[in-house]
Structure 1
Amino acid sequence: MKYILSIILFCSIQVSAQIKINGKVTDSNKKAVQYANIFIVGTYDGGTTDTLGNFSFMTYEVGNQLLKITAIGRESKSIPHDLSHNKPLQIQLQEQAKQLDEVVIQAGLLQAGDKVKNTVMTPLDIVTTAGSMGNIFGALATLPGAQVAGENGRLMVHGGSAAETQTYINGIRVPQPYTSSPNDVPVRGRFSPFLFKGVNFSTGGYSAEYGNALSSVLILNTANQIEPNKTEISISTVGAGLSNTQDWKTKSLTFNTSYTNLKPYSKIITPNIDWTKPYENASGELIYRQKLKTGFISTYAAFNFEDMGLYQKNSNYTHPIAIKKKAYNSYFNTDYQQNLGGRWDMQSGIGMGYLNEKLQANSMGMPHQEIAIHVKEKFTKSWNNRIKSIFGIDYFYTDFTQDFTSPSTRKEVSSASSIAALYTETTYAMNNYLIAKLGIRATSSTAEPFLLEPRFSLGYLINPYNQLSFTYGDFHQQGSQEILIYDQQIKWQQAHHYILNYYYEKKGRTLRLEAYRKTYDHLIKYDTPRINSSSIFTNTGTGYAQGMDLFFRDNRSIKNLQYWISYAYTDSKRNETDAPFSVTPSYVFKHTLSVVAKYWINALHSQVSLTNNYLSGRSYHDPNLPSYTQRKTDAYNTLSANWSYLISQQKIIHISVNNLLGSSPIYGYQYADHPNQQGIYNRIAITPSAKRFVFVGFFWTLSSNKKENQLDNL
């Protein structure tokens, strides 16, 4: 009986020692948070909030304890609490921030990828767009803010020249992204489109990770995955190609080779080029991928040989000039990515490019060589779901040599430059609706010992489908090799970007509106009509570019039809090169409009694609008239079409026609350096190298799963 009384007494003491913990959980707007869990860390004591956010539970614990509060969609919270203070708790939980990788600030950015949420194009779109002919730069020309001049095929962005855009593969710079060609004949991208699973195309305000580009960067990314065994064969009206991939579970090796010769094609469809040796190209690519336990290695090597000869008209000569051109280009890129633990990641990479181009014009020779190296080291740290930082260092080395030869003389000029850069950038999600990115890049070179470039972006998510964003940045770029061979101390040019963007994406429809202002300082000027050894260079040039872009895409309204409409308005004036005052550059189109439509015809196992491009006239200088840059070319319109027919899942016939209606645009005029006997400057119109281009190809894929095809290579 005595023991029973003792137990009853002990239990009564314990019951009387229980402590009640109660309070309320709300959000930042003081609204109740339902079904939140509150418990004492290290115990089973806890409770759950009701519909009013109130909670209450009992505990035998005493003294200072750690309370943890969790709720779905909220940031968890831990607070110290002295149980001797028996007052109701007022606890506030913040909304859980989205993963930073899921949020993209849209200002100044166009994305293409299968796994990226906010994309305006997929990789399949890039290579199946009519008129692109499988050329990445040609497809990008249908996006807002991008322009490609018909006479050279190079990418220009927001009123900037083609030299103001840099190209990167896996974060490593590509020194020579274009093929070689004679003057006023369009070039193409050097790299096969199927290599890239993601594309980030900047229209300005790009990340502090990249530099030495006044207007834009084009970032091409390969997939970090092992490719399956397959063989791909292509035969077309301009050449043939063969590709093979071997897969060993954790590693794969792909070899791709192609050969192009326009001689047979030129006999069927006569171009506006007087070939003495039609264009010939032989290229090879090697891609090695290996998956490691906590990392990935990707290595890419490419070789390209080009040979051509033609007679080219020149306004300074009575008879056409005999042009011969050979180019040898090789490029190597290796990228190593490693997870270091503790939410740290590392990327190490190196890229090396070599170009040897031999140009002969009548008896004059103008060969040049370029060796370019880029070494990159980058670290990424995810501090938590809200904050992510990158830290990196870049080193660039370029050696360029230009020869001038004639039967009696030879002159060699060269330049060598070393550039080092440090950068850091942090992205911070202040809450689920507001995200900021702050970066800075410091660059040092011989001509500019210290350049500092701040970058800032802010994105506001109105709701899951709408975003407003703003970007500002300072950007610098050194002079072209054509200038550096005469003056290696010329200062870097500068641009300031201001971009305001609205982005909407919901249920297969995308709307993108962007307004921008870009101001230029320290642009390079010279006192001769053409750059030569007697030219005097200064950094007294200024300028601006401003305008707006519109992009609308619809994949849903009509079954099997996807289309997009892209419009850009560009207003630009620059005082640069030998211009006496600020003028609209000759490479700027004030208005561009692209309409792209793709329709899948199920009964015919076919995809039909149409692209219509409208481009307004461009300014040009007529020396026969007073003043400067007084005239404009006529606007023009081109329509292109593709048809892809699937004979079977792995066999495709592809037909593509550029400039289907045979329009005859004039891109500009080439004027003689001196007037003729009548005092008139002779001129030659710059027109397309062919009225239309027709491509017919057969593509066959051999793979074990019988599902792979080359539809995304077309």
Structure 2
Amino acid sequence: MNKSIYVFSAFIISAFGFAQTAQIKGVVLNEQDSPVQNVLVQAQDRQVYTNANGFYFLEVSPSDQITIKFQADAYQTVTYTESLKENQSFELNIRLSDHSEELKELVIDKNLQQRFEGTTIISPDVIRRIPGANAGVENILKTLPGVYSNNELSSGYNVRGGNFDENMVYVNEIEVYRPFLIRSGQQEGLSFTNNSMTEKVDFSSGGFQAKYGDKMSSVLDITYRKPKQFGGQLDASILGGGVTVDLASKDQKWTAITGFRYRNNALLVNSQDVEVDYKPRYLDAQSLITFQPSAKWEWSLLLNASSNVYEYTPLVKRTKFGTIGDSKEMSVYYEGSEIDKYQTYFGAFKGIFKPNLENSYKIIASAYHTKEEEYYDILGQYNLGNVSGDLGGNAGEVEYTVGLGSQLNHGRNNYDALIVSAEVKGQHKLDENEIEWGVRYVSEDIRDRLVEWEVVDSAGFSLAHPYFSTPNNQPYEPYQGELLPYQNVRATNFVKINRLNGFAQWSRRGAIGEHETFVNVGARAHYWNVGAEGYETSNAQFIISPRAQFAIKPNWENTDMVFRLSGGLYHQPPSYRELRAMDGSINPNVKAQQSIHIALSNDYSFKIKNTPFKLFTELYYKDLSNVNTYTLENVRIRYRADNNAEAYVYGADMRMNGEIVPGIESWFSVGYLKTEENYNNKGFIARPTDQRLKLGLMFQDYMPTIPNLKLYLNLVYNTPLPGGSPSYVDPYQYQLRLKNYMRADAGFSYIFKDQTFKSEKRWLKPFEEMSVGFEIYNLFNNENAITNTWVRDVYEKKMYAIPNRMTMRTFNLKLNMRW
């Protein structure tokens, strides 16, 4: 506890300055689209003049408020405000008005625009530095209010009562997909996003605009960077590593950034209470190639290939649980293994045409192919015993056995999917108005085979599924029914889905009196049909989703606030996973889930002793209909595929962040939510994502006596999540919850060289940056659990919940280099 107080106190009172570097570049044109020479461009204490081509380039110190001014004789002065992070390269093209009459200076505040739209901007450097068992952008998202996760091995996250399937992820405006067959976080390996290639990350937890796709919960919008020159980066740790190479031609027309990654989760999995022979191999290669032949045209190609091989052979598991007065231990001895393979290939082509500064057009074509297989045969034979509480020599040892049994799990699952899409988008600026539109076609071709069964034996007696009608009173009466697996699912599905969707939206920045305002109004439309072999062709379905935002910044003296109201009707047309019922059958006529979402927020910027802070608060409510209920076990979601429920979500989020160290952000967040569903009018009960309270802390600091030594802390606390009951039971009869989830990951990094700490040592001259780090995962060694295993005591007719624990305290070493 003292450590927590110290960390929080340091977050509030620390202050120290570091200088970093960011770049601003662009072209200045006149109203005839001709370059303007000798325009004075000023930012901070730097200034340059545009050359004969109207081009300029500036290096500045990163900040949330960078003012860029453009001045030239006979032209209107333009002032632009932007937020830049370390190593960010920002392109800003400006058109100057050359009217002869005196014109008022034009002020453009881009940072205010982002506040109006309600997006959270996450620095790529924060993503790269902050420690976590599954380091990446998802690791940082889990510290934000409204974002929940109880699984440090998974890149999945829940946002405001939604599940993993309700989140959209874009890379360079291209939608990306998660693997389908994964059942647990330790099978995932690598997230799609390569942090070393990232330039910008925007996140919205609700009330987002119509230009984003048809999901109900959140949008993660990632932009990969364009290199300026040859360079590279190496990241290595005990968990794996990666190499990123930057290439650029002298005239900057051709650029390429390529990243290779490898990950091995054995260090983390071996910290669990299961002895395993674990051989994971997660490999990934990505490349973004761009060609810009002129200021009007740009072409890019995004490629990705990944191969995840998961070999898992459990040996022994020993779990102690219960109280001091009634302590028990379950020992499980395993035979068999699991071998999973996930191979994905992704390619996207993007073209941008900008005939002038007011209009732009984009074409995007992409193809995603995944081949996944999941094969396992694992026999677990367990012994459940009472543990001695005698303080003598037998303390902690099993005194006698109260339960014996075995469990055989078999799986032969194959999934093959090809998703192809083509899209056209446009953007037009008319004075203070902006119009955006887009049309997209998607074809999904899915081949799925599901074969899973489970046989449960308790003290020599085979147990049938609890829903099976034949009475089973073993061992007191002979069982007269048919011997059947405890669970048995078999299905082969060939499904094709065709989608046509589009959007149109209008935005305007204006004023009411002296108060700045922003309005966004738009709508999405989605048409789709489902063809499943062996089933009747579905009826084509069509939905419209109107959305709107209104924001105002009052002109209050010495008070910087933005108020925002957003919402709309959000639909989620079913994916293949939502079409497949728990028995493996397909319902082609599943409707789109629907959510009426309303959010009211306040964004307050202020200073304490010249240190900038921001306080963000938001209240939200969702009314859901056509709900497709599901069960959640670890990271696997299984739907009922029937739309027979309604639900609601309401909550409040708060986040305070500040640059305790200038240019380096830290924040503290609090979230509260409640979500319940009503299935077939049985009454409202907690949804699987009903996690009431969340606390998050993302903290960065330095050692005053050793400024090269930096400290990073990532802390998450979540109250209990539903999931303590067996996944096969009726949730209206069992509403058990897991224990609280608390996890703190700490990191220490020693900087040999970067933009702040220069070095004249010969061996460091080839490098722009070099650092070594030491990380501690699960600092306080909390015993978090993701699910329970249920074991039967045949003598007392009891069922015991044995927690399936997550990773324990683990240590890691890191090396980072840039050149």
The normalised TM-score by structure 1 is: 0.75
Distance 1:180 1:136, change over 3 A: farther
Name the residue aligned to 1:473. Answer: 568
Alignment gaps of 5+ in structure 1: 1-69, 78-92, 113-120, 703-714
Distance 1:344 1:304, change over 3 A: same
Q: d(CA) in 2 for partners of 1:71 and 1:284? A: 47
Give the conservation status (yes or no) of the 8 Å contact 1:177–1:191.
no
Identity %: 15
Q: d(CA) in 2 for partners of 1:107 and 1:584? A: 34
- List per-residue Cα deviations over 1:252-273 (Å, max 9, x = no partner): 222322233455x479x64445
Q: 1:104 aligns with which of 95, 98, 113?
A: 113
Q: 1:252 aligns with which of 255, 258, 261?
A: 255
Compare CA radii of gyration and give the structure with the larger one: 1
The 10-residue stretch of structure 1 (421-430 or 472-481) with the greater mean CA deviation from structure 2 = 472-481
> Offset at 1:149?
2.6
Name the residue aligned to 2:523. Answer: 440
Give the conservation status (yes or no) of the 8 Å contact 1:560–1:600.
no
- List per-residue Cα deviations over 1:242-297 (Å, max 9, x = no partner): 3322221321222322233455x479x64445433421112211221222312322
The 10-residue stretch of structure 1 (651-660 or 143-152) with the greater mean CA deviation from structure 2 = 143-152
> Offset at 1:551?
0.5
SS at match of 1:662: coil
**Does residue 505 of structure 2 align to residue 425 of structure 1?**
yes
Q: 1:639 aligns with which of 723, 734, 744?
A: 744
> Offset at 1:645?
1.4
Give the conservation status (yes or no) of the 8 Å contact 1:257–1:283.
yes
Give the conservation status (yes or no) of the 8 Å contact 2:190–2:263.
no
Q: d(CA) in 1 for partners of 2:697 and 2:452? A: 49
Cα RMSD after superposing both structures: 3.8
Name the residue aligned to 1:595. Answer: 697
Distance 1:435 1:230, change over 3 A: same
Distance 1:143 1:454, change over 3 A: same
Name the residue aligned to 2:344. Answer: 329
Name the residue aligned to 1:659. Answer: 778
Distance 1:636 1:191, change over 3 A: closer
Name the residue aligned to 2:814. Answer: 697
> Offset at 1:409?
12
Give the conservation status (yes or no) of the 8 Å contact 2:148–2:718.
no
SS at match of 2:162: coil
**Does residue 672 of structure 2 align to residue 569 of structure 1?**
yes
Name the residue aligned to 2:142. Answer: 141
Give the conservation status (yes or no) of the 8 Å contact 1:575–1:583.
yes
> Offset at 1:466?
1.0
Distance 1:241 1:187, change over 3 A: closer
The normalised TM-score by structure 2 is: 0.66
Q: 2:493 aligns with which of 410, 413, 417?
A: 413
Q: d(CA) in 1 for partners of 2:354 and 2:117? A: 29
> Offset at 1:607?
1.7
> Offset at 1:97?
8.1
Give the conservation status (yes or no) of the 8 Å contact 1:304–1:330.
yes
2:627 maps to a residue whose letter is L
Q: d(CA) in 1 for partners of 2:335 and 2:723? A: 23
Distance 1:319 1:251, change over 3 A: same
Distance 1:687 1:476, change over 3 A: same
Distance 1:495 1:299, change over 3 A: same
Q: d(CA) in 2 for partners of 1:684 and 1:509? A: 45
Q: d(CA) in 2 for partners of 1:484 and 1:449? A: 14
> Offset at 1:459?
0.4
Name the residue aligned to 2:175. Answer: 173
Name the residue aligned to 1:58. Answer: none
Q: Within 5 A, what are the aligned runs for 1:264-663? A: 265=267, 270-293=271-294, 294-311=296-313, 322-341=337-356, 343-362=358-377, 364-384=411-431, 386-404=432-450, 412-431=492-511, 433-446=516-529, 448-463=540-555, 465-485=560-580, 486-506=586-606, 508-525=612-629, 537-556=641-660, 562-575=665-678, 580-601=682-703, 603-620=706-723, 622=725, 628-649=733-754, 650-663=769-782
Give the conservation status (yes or no) of the 8 Å contact 1:275–1:309.
no
Q: d(CA) in 2 for partners of 1:631 and 1:241? A: 42
Give the conservation status (yes or no) of the 8 Å contact 2:725–2:737.
no
- List per-residue Cα deviations over 1:612-652 (Å, max 9, x = no partner): 22211123464799953433333242221111212233222
Q: d(CA) in 1 for partners of 2:443 and 2:187? A: 30
The 10-residue stretch of structure 1 (163-172 or 248-257) with the greater mean CA deviation from structure 2 = 248-257
Alignment gaps of 5+ in structure 2: 1-74, 80-95, 318-329, 378-409, 454-487, 530-538, 581-585, 755-768
Q: Within 5 A, what are the aligned runs for 1:83-122? A: 99=108, 101=110, 103-104=112-113, 106=115, 109-112=118-121, 121-122=122-123
1:189 maps to a residue whose letter is S
Q: d(CA) in 2 for partners of 1:340 and 1:626? A: 58
> Offset at 1:525?
4.7
> Offset at 1:453?
0.7
Give the conservation status (yes or no) of the 8 Å contact 1:165–1:215.
yes
- List per-residue Cα deviations over 1:105-149 (Å, max 9, x = no partner): 64783322xxxxxxxx32212222233653111111111111123
Aligned length: 597
Distance 1:617 1:606, change over 3 A: same
**Does residue 315 of structure 2 align to residue 197 of structure 1?**
no
Give the conservation status (yes or no) of the 8 Å contact 1:179–1:187.
no
SS at match of 1:139: helix
